[in-house]
Amino acid sequence: DVEKTSQWYQTVLGLVSGHGGREYEQLLFEQSMVLQLHQWQAHDHPHIGDPKRVIGNGVLLWFESDQFDEIVKKLQTHQVEILEGPKYNPNAHHREIWFKDPNG
Q: What is the pTM of this model?
A: 0.79
pLDDT value for 43:
65
Tell me the Ramachandran region of residue 28: left when phi exceeds 0, alpha when psi lies from -120 to 50, beta otherwise.
Answer: beta
How does pLDDT run across 52-62, given as a tens digit for each residue?
A: 777 666 677 88
Nearest-10 crossing angle of helices 2-13, 68-77? 120
pLDDT at 14 > cutoff 80: yes
In order of their start, the domains of the chain are 2-40+61-99 (3.10.180.10)
> Which pLDDT score is estimated for 71?
95
- Per-residue pLDDT averaged across 55-71, rounded? 82
Residue 94 has pLDDT above 90, yes or no: yes
DSSP 40-90: TTSSS-TTS--TTSPSSSS-------S-HHHHHHHHHHTT--EEEEEEEET
Task: Name the more confident of 89 and 39.
Answer: 89
